[in-house]
Chain A
Amino acid sequence: MDVLSSILGGFDVVFQPVNLAYCFAGVLIGMLIGVLPGLGPVATISILLPITYGLEPATAIIMLAGIFYGAQYGGTITSVLLRLPGESTTVVTVFDGYQMALRGRAGAALGIAAVGSFVGGTVSILGLSFLAPVVAEFALDFGPPEYAVLTLLGILLVSTLGTGSPLKSLAVAVAGLLLATVGRDTFTGMGRFILGSDNLADGIDFVPLAMGLFGVGEILYDLERRAREKLTMPAIGKVWISRLDWIRSRAAIARGTVLGFVIGILPGGGAALSSMLSYAVEKRVSKTPKEFGRGAIEGVAGPETANNAAATSSFIPLLTLGLPANATMAVIFGALLLQGVTPGPQMITEHPDVFWGVIDSMWIGNIFLLVMSVPLVGLFIRILRVRATILAPITIMITMIGVYTVNNSLFDMYLVIGFGIIGYLMKKFGFEPGPLVLAFVLGGQMETAFRQSLRLFDGSPAGFFTRPISGTLLAAMVVGGILLVALRRRTTVAPDDAPVEEVRR
């Protein structure tokens, strides 16, 4: 099929008024939660899952995707003005963005971040549009062994490269795979780990799991450290960039786009890593590295571009291989399954409206965001004054009522609280819930793939290595993993040289 005509077909989906409205709602919500302290995009998307039930698949995912990339824009605002990274992806923006703000250049920092984000996002969509069909076509030949290897390595990479301790993340991922085995075994029809409960006979539902671990867990965790805000923020000034700013930043934006796009595709890479990497690169290539940490505009432009490019390109493995590259993609994976759309190589032919509609909606969403973030920054800043003590009970009630509406089930509500408490305790003890949810959504298909493979190989695991595609995949993923670890080692050095203490006075 001609890619260009498919892309154009996607715009027919996007320009339906209802989809435009939900796209706008998504990026607006994303921007808001990016600005607000507390809930991040994963938690928000989880909490809003029940709302997506009544929507068309394309509409639902257009909105959820909007929340995800919208939050990248919003998080920048608080990083620059308040030294509070709204999201982990905007952490490095603090280094130079806040310094720029202190020097009365907040407007330029926000302006270049918005422009960079827009460039990174839109170029990345272009890459996504042309690369995704190629990958999907290639993946059509995948059999159970390839799928087993792919999911295994995907989970491993996400666990070891995500934030937090690799061992703890691995433990969490294995626990997620175990939770996915609860319910009826697809091969033997046997009920597994149902503990005599009818409620567990069909397994644990994804919605209460994600809403509990991400939503309620996050809210409970924040209850403990109730904030007393005394936010003082520097004057924003005019959100505009000068010619000189643009000349200084354009190379950084170009590098950030490429870097973000590549890192975003890799499982476990994601937006946070790409922004850190971009900061390190910019500092290295700069003729005046001493300026970094003292308000170098390249240090804002590069990372802000990279995180948006990565957020967009991380849709590639999800939409073409059915492999979520990070926790947010895992929740969107779950949302697609709820809609009866299985993400994977068949998606592009079986559900072209969803596939191309979602991709094309990102153009529109990025335009919305650019328009909103430049003139309306002052408005979003005012939202920061809403106290967390008021937001928490309202959010929790939306969560509780929302989860009930999915199955009209009180049991689901108890599950949400149960997983909420587990999520809270996990955070207290240093476990990230992300790998658990990711492993949980992949668990069922992964087990099926492994068992089918073992039958195929007559019980010999060596088959995974000898089959050409799965063997190559194994090798490629191992090499990619080593590369990422090496990159990460190098980037962790970078913030050391940055005058962190100065930033944190």
Chain B
Amino acid sequence: MNRPARTTDDAMRPDGSRRSETPERPEAGEEASEEIRPAGAWASVVAALAPGVFGAAMAIMALSLGLGRLSEPGAGLWPFALGVLLVAVSVALLTTRRRQAACESFGRGGWSVVLGAVSLVAFIMLLPLVGFEIPTVVLIALWLKVIGGEGWRTTVAVSVLATAGFHALFVLALGVSIPHLIAI
């Protein structure tokens, strides 16, 4: 794991109390190059409300499926009950949010995540059009060079070799039907 300090805390303190007392301890493991700071109070409100919104939406949709009776449950009874329960848990989270462990803020590293996710969506859109080889080379190169900050030599070598490896593994060895350019 890349985050020894957190893992240690989580494991030792199931309630996360240790983490909220001393949220920053990047020194353990000398790995944390970019510090992740705890997020502000807004984050704990979002964390408490998000499950509630999902639960409420599911409960409302479940109503239209028909609840039936307890002796003859309809299609909507179970999801409705779960939705209501989730809203209740959400309220409990909201009232206890100061005692919950702090959420993490989105640092500059957050942009890597956005870029990473967008590049994956682009990969899927290109896949049926041009096969998997070119998008794979481009995506691996992007992750290595832009997100990972690797040198050009590593970028080119790894992206080309890895793609060749995938072709050999998935197309030649396993014979899966992924769209591909190179026929052999």
Q: Which residues of A contact B (CB under 8 A)?
A: 37-38, 40, 54, 82-88, 91, 94, 161-168, 170-172, 174-175, 177-178, 181, 185, 187-188, 190, 192-193, 216, 219-231, 272, 276, 387-390, 392-394, 396-398, 400-401, 404-405, 408, 410, 413-414, 417, 420-421, 424, 427-431, 447, 450-451, 454-455, 458-461, 488, 492, 495, 504-505
Contact = CB atoms under 8 A, between A and B. Distances in A.
A162 B13 CA distance: 11
B34 interface: yes
Contacts of A413: 124, 127
Contacts, number: 264
Nearest to B149: A389
Given A167-B92, A420-B117, A492-B12, A181 B78 contact: yes
B112 A454 contact: no
Given A178-B55, A405-B170, A492-B13, A393 B140 contact: yes
A226 B166 contact: no
Q: Is the interface of A mostly helix, strand, loop or mixed?
A: helix
B75 A185 contact: yes
Interface string B50-88: 110011001001100100011111111111001101100
Contacts of A388: 2
Given A37-B31, A88-B1, A166-B15, 15 more contacts: A178-B54, A223-B109, A225-B3, A226-B147, A230-B30, A393-B143, A393-B159, A400-B123, A408-B178, A414-B121, A417-B124, A428-B104, A430-B102, A492-B12, A505-B27
Contact of A390 (B3, B25, B74, B144): B144
Contacts of A429: 43, 46-47, 50, 103-104
Contact of A410 (B113, B124, B147, B176): B124
Nearest to B43: A429
A228 to B, nearest CB: 4
A410 B128 contact: yes
Given A192-B75, A229-B31, A400-B123, A224 B178 contact: no
A38 B177 contact: no
Contacts of B33: 225-228
B106 A83 contact: no
Interface in B1-42: 1-4, 7-8, 10-16, 25, 27-34, 36, 39
Contacts of A387: 148, 150
A454 B74 CA distance: 11
Given A220-B117, A224-B113, A429-B103, A171 B31 contact: no
